[in-house]
Structure 1
């Protein structure tokens, strides 16, 4: 599917093809992130080495993450979920949000500001600065 997304844009270099490719690539990127999540829990395969290899080789690069760093972070989230020690606590502590806050969040998402913030956070996490 990833190859198809690139091929469509190369074979038919038109805006609708680009939009189709972007949507398809985002969909496949999410799927690989989900597989990386499962590999971080050693749930893709019975063998931990195979989980680590598949998760590191095929899944993590697409979402610009380090599997071991993600595993450490994510397992801390599971250990302290819902508490102030949860590394994801800042992401949900203010929910439910007001209507005005929702509109600001939607504007950030539609303007790609959220994507840039996540990208920056991933770079810092991979640099060991979490």
Structure 2
């Protein structure tokens, strides 16, 4: 199976229970609570906390996807059912993504990194062209329909401007964050890195690595030890 095959020898010695489950559930709950508070907030655009709220929600959105990503590597829980359930929940919250669909695409990314068979790679190296192709490849009509229906229903409960500012916008910004730090920067010079994973890596700065993308800027390390969960990835640096 893919999940077992992707584990390195290092990861086999790492305990992912119960910390992975606790962190995964915590990210879900904090995201939901933060979103509820922000959607109920009678804010003023001149308040600097508005920007802070957007940034916090963006970071939490990224955390949802990173949790799902760890589930694809089997590192949220040793229990395969719990692992998959948390992956499915976080991806549904992240714009109704399909866990099974992304699982196989991510498998191909690791197997064919920085090649024409890599679904995350674009040979142009151009940020905007690459990002646009990335969005098209991972966004489906079903997702857009479900997001539109959800937005219209939620308008009966929350103000539209709150929904756009604290629900829709952070989700879009999160995709940019994930793409830039987790795909574009590590792989844009894939064939020039001179290593077996064709991947670059951020310079060692654990605080920035966490804030930017939950340590996935340490991308060579992730490809070298794909069974290491995000919260231990800094130890591989």
TM-score (norm 1): 0.67
Pairing partner for 1:67 from 87, 95, 99 = 99
Q: How many aligned positions are there?
A: 109
**Aligned counterpart in structure 2 of residue 14 of structure 1, from 37, 40, 44:** 44
Give yes or no for contact 1:6–1:21 (8 Å, CA) kept in 2: no
Q: How does 1:110-121 map to 2 (within 5 A)?
A: 118=135, 121=138
Q: Is the 8 A contact 1:77 1:86 kept in 2?
A: yes
Superposed CA offset, 1:74-109 (max 9, x none): 10111111221111222xx233x5xxxx6xx4xx9x
1:41 aligns with 2:55: no
Structure 1 residue 44 displacement after superposition = 0.8
Structure 2: state its 5+ residue gaps.
Answer: 1-29, 145-237
CA contact (8 A) 1:40 1:55 kept: yes
Asked if 1:94 is matched to 2:111, the reply is: no
Q: Find the counterpart in structure 2 of residue 27 from structure 1.
A: 59
Higher percent of residues as helix: 1
CA 1:29–1:119 in structure 2 vs 1: closer, same or farther (change >3 Å)? Answer: farther
> Which piece of structure 1 moves more, 73-82 or 6-15?
6-15
TM-score between the two structures when normalised by the length of structure 2: 0.39
Conservation of the 8 A alpha-carbon contact between 1:5 and 1:20: no
The equivalent of 2:139 in structure 1 is 122
- Once the two structures are superposed, residues 52-85 of structure 1 have per-residue CA deviations (whole angstroms, 9 ceiling, x without a partner) of 011112x112222111110011101111112211
Q: Structure 1 pair 82/120, CA: closer, same or farther in 2 (3 Å)?
A: closer
Secondary structure at the aligned position of 2:87 is classed as: helix
Q: Report the Cα distance in structure 2 between the residues aligned to 1:35 and 1:66, rounded to whole angstroms.
A: 14
RMSD: 3.0
